[in-house]
A = this chain, B = another copy of it.
């Protein structure tokens, strides 16, 4: 490695810029960009992400890096007019991580680096502010000890508490310079005791070790987990930013703060954020003290608000997006320490995008590109029924919108265990930390008693789309006994509460929910998306109710209507079972005759709900044994009500038992060995079409045969289907053309799509099964393996969530090409889970599918993702 590894910024000019995120990380690239924009940024330099990758692999610095860092440091000394390690006027620096993708709180930071027992005195003298010097020194020892040497944070906290108690101080602000000096010395002793070494006083050693610690933090467990959960892949490592310190803890006209250029929760165009006077660095984010609203900053340091607003406008105009910024004021002088694209709720994302178009900051295309389709998910889920009775037991900050009910658990571990038992979980914590990521991920909602809108809990919950009430000081939590008390009510582990993350309210018990209402900005954005997309969006729906929801969300048809769900209905399951245990064809037909009218009326309901739109109905797919009772008790019950001996049921259950049901007697195999089942279903569909036609409903039916692996299966099924259609046409004067097609969900079907297309009017890719068979992964069995594979880097993502373009995608692409070669007009769609995944939708667009089909609640996500795909926003193979 001989290229440039260190990039300087300062004095209005930088080596890098915002486009160099991959090399400089997000933080470094934007520090460079802001420097170039003339925004006040403390000078510094960034060590490239390549170095992190190199160090992670080779356990040593790349050749030349040492020299480049020393050169940059010398330049920094020159610009700052201070020497690193100078005993009288030391240059102090911060050392921060920063990868190309934002990973808040996942990696480490060391501030005030360069202090030593000598220079802390020099700093005190030079600044005339011994409290600043000792506060800075004790913070440095704490952070260096914790980040570089793994000394427990708790040890330092205990010392802080002891000193506070000794001085009768409530807050750390109440500690004077002497107390801070005392504290710093205690910290040094803690460090020595914990590590067995003296605290290093050579600033170059401090710097090297801090840089290495940041590199290492890239591979720590929580960072790896974060990247897995957030599907962050393909990065080289973290960059390291070494920057001249400015001090928010210089005194009363100093402060540090975090702001969003617009409200990240609602999207409203107001400057939004918090600050802590006389504080440093991580105090805000960590939620240790409760910060003040940014609008009040002029009360402490006049003129600052206007400066911030100016920078807000400059940044939004430059970046064309909402920015999340960090700043420090040192004795009235404002410095920007970070800017990055602001994370926001789905609701905010939509409003911001649409309003920015109106403000002419961005184009409609930009607006479509700007909103993460996955974030819409939050908008599409139910809210509490406004009319329901509720008992409020607390109010905190509306940190992440949405509504959730669940059982309370007081540790991430307990939450994960409960979620594994399929419980709905609300995680209740004083404050959350990166260690809690796993528990937060499985929770329906998060409640904290401390911390602000930018606390760890709030930021992470918004990113996850999980509802969160933060800083609800009313509640007191007893971790030991696993109870919480608020307004005189004590709840224990496992009790139900409900959270309204949009209002910041906490309710006792479980509350009923209603469907979400869409904002006009949402409708506007969806309208723009619909103009741009080529892919149609259908839905997977089995009931008229599903259909209604999906139409409201903009579905353009049903891509998958599963008929087996109808079989489980109480009124029918007995006839289904009679059909299965039938001793011969006649008995089976008799049972099917009972089912026919039910199925017909199911389809009538669905066709009416989808009036004018295509409806793809899949014939019976699961193996018959799924409909039979497994326990002895229920077998006896069923036998009794069917009037047969329990042996008959038992024998049938054992006869139908399969070792690998996924690869067994299901799908069209059933239709071929038991033709009367599919015949009944086809008849029910076609009679329903005819009935609807008579009522003036426009039906566009598509009959789909599942699990086809060979052309001849479909030849025979098509012949049967056409025969039944013709029969009903004769009987009822049916008018509709009915398409006949197949799922492509078996690898062989994709491989022989040219042959199969001879018999199919359409293909629908069942990528769930196709993924199972292509990988040889049973969804039912390989969950833990998939997690192991993602953790150990064998798989980047779960191939059941995001389509495996390399393998499964190859089959999809091949099938579309081969199929259309045989039949140019072949309609192609997808109805697996992937139909609602934005990246998979991009792939579907790329290979020329006609539509994607997904669950009703994901339809808007798919509409937006399809538009982004049309705009070339996302490429599936990137």
Q: Which residues of A contact B (CB under 8 A)?
A: 658-665, 669, 672-673, 707, 709-710, 712-713, 716, 745-748, 751-752, 755, 769, 772-778, 780-782, 784-785, 788-789, 792-795, 804, 806-808, 810-811
Q: Which residues of B contact A811 (CB under 8 A)?
A: 747, 751
| In contact, B663 and A772 (Cβ under 8 angstroms) | yes
| In contact, A774 and B792 (Cβ under 8 angstroms) | no
Of B716, B792, B807, the contact of A752 (CB 8 Å cutoff):
B807
Q: Which residues of B contact A672 (CB under 8 A)?
A: 788-789, 792, 794
CA distance A672 to B784 in the complex (A): 12
Q: A710-B795, A775-B746 are in contact. Are A660 and B781 (CB under 8 A)?
A: yes
| In contact, A776 and B663 (Cβ under 8 angstroms) | yes
Q: How many copies does the complex hold?
A: 2
| In contact, B774 and A748 (Cβ under 8 angstroms) | yes
| In contact, A778 and B664 (Cβ under 8 angstroms) | yes
Minimum CB–CB distance from A789 to chain B (whole Å) comes to: 8
Q: Which residues of B contact A713 (CB under 8 A)?
A: 794
Of B662, B665, B785, B792, the contact of A665 (CB 8 Å cutoff):
B785
Of B665, B746, B752, B794, the contact of A710 (CB 8 Å cutoff):
B794
Q: Which residue of B lies closest to A668 (CB)?
A: B794
Q: A665-B781, A672-B794 are in contact. Are A776 and B773 (CB under 8 A)?
A: yes
Q: Which residue of B lies closest to A664 (CB)?
A: B781
Q: Which residue of B lies closest to A785 (CB)?
A: B669
CA distance A794 to B759 in the complex (A): 14
A746-B774, A748-B775, A748-B776 are known contacts; what are 11 more A-B pairs with Cβ within 8 Å?
Answer: A659-B781, A660-B661, A662-B662, A663-B772, A664-B781, A713-B794, A746-B775, A751-B807, A752-B810, A769-B776, A773-B773
CA distance A807 to B751 in the complex (A): 6
Minimum CB–CB distance from A629 to chain B (whole Å) comes to: 18
Of B662, B777, B785, B810, the contact of A751 (CB 8 Å cutoff):
B810
Of B659, B709, B773, the contact of A661 (CB 8 Å cutoff):
B659
Q: Which residues of B contact A662 (CB under 8 A)?
A: 659-660, 662-663, 776, 778
| In contact, B776 and A709 (Cβ under 8 angstroms) | yes
| In contact, A663 and B665 (Cβ under 8 angstroms) | no
Q: Which residue of B lies closest to A793 (CB)?
A: B712
Minimum CB–CB distance from A135 to chain B (whole Å) comes to: 47
Q: Which residue of B lies closest to A658 (CB)?
A: B781
Q: A673-B788, A792-B716, A795-B710 are in contact. Are A780 and B747 (CB under 8 A)?
A: no
| In contact, A751 and B774 (Cβ under 8 angstroms) | yes
Q: Which residues of B contact A794 (CB under 8 A)?
A: 672, 710, 712-713, 716
CA distance A673 to B775 in the complex (A): 17
CA distance A709 to B794 in the complex (A): 10
Minimum CB–CB distance from A352 to chain B (whole Å) comes to: 39
Of B673, B709, B807, the contact of A748 (CB 8 Å cutoff):
B807
Minimum CB–CB distance from A288 to chain B (whole Å) comes to: 39
Question: Which of A660, A746, A769, A774 gathers the greatest number of chain B CB atoms within 10 Å?
Answer: A660
Question: Which of A663, A669, A793, A804 gathers the greatest number of chain B CB atoms within 10 Å?
Answer: A663
CA distance A518 to B660 in the complex (A): 43
CA distance A672 to B772 in the complex (A): 19
| In contact, B785 and A673 (Cβ under 8 angstroms) | yes
A-B residue pairs in contact (CB < 8 Å), sample of 11: A658-B778, A662-B778, A664-B782, A665-B781, A669-B785, A716-B792, A745-B776, A746-B776, A747-B773, A747-B811, A752-B806
Minimum CB–CB distance from A21 to chain B (whole Å) comes to: 26
CA distance A784 to B664 in the complex (A): 10
Minimum CB–CB distance from A658 to chain B (whole Å) comes to: 4
Q: Which residues of B contact A807 (CB under 8 A)?
A: 709-710, 747-748, 751-752
| In contact, B777 and A663 (Cβ under 8 angstroms) | yes
| In contact, B778 and A659 (Cβ under 8 angstroms) | yes
Q: Which residues of B contact A747 (CB under 8 A)?
A: 747, 773-774, 776, 807, 811
Q: A747-B774, A748-B774, A748-B776 are in contact. Are A781 and B663 (CB under 8 A)?
A: yes
Minimum CB–CB distance from A599 to chain B (whole Å) comes to: 25
CA distance A780 to B658 in the complex (A): 8
Q: Which residue of B lies closest to A804 (CB)?
A: B748
CA distance A769 to B781 in the complex (A): 18
Minimum CB–CB distance from A31 to chain B (whole Å) comes to: 35
Q: Which residue of B lies closest to A712 (CB)?
A: B794
| In contact, A782 and B665 (Cβ under 8 angstroms) | yes
Q: Which residues of B contact A673 (CB under 8 A)?
A: 784-785, 788
Q: Which residue of B lies closest to A659 (CB)?
A: B780
Q: Which residues of B contact A789 (CB under 8 A)?
A: 672
| In contact, A709 and B669 (Cβ under 8 angstroms) | no
Q: Which residue of B lies closest to A771 (CB)?
A: B748
Q: Which residue of B lies closest to A710 (CB)?
A: B794
Q: Which residues of B contact A658 (CB under 8 A)?
A: 778, 780-781
Minimum CB–CB distance from A531 to chain B (whole Å) comes to: 37
Minimum CB–CB distance from A876 to chain B (whole Å) comes to: 16
Q: Which residues of B contact A778 (CB under 8 A)?
A: 658-660, 662-664
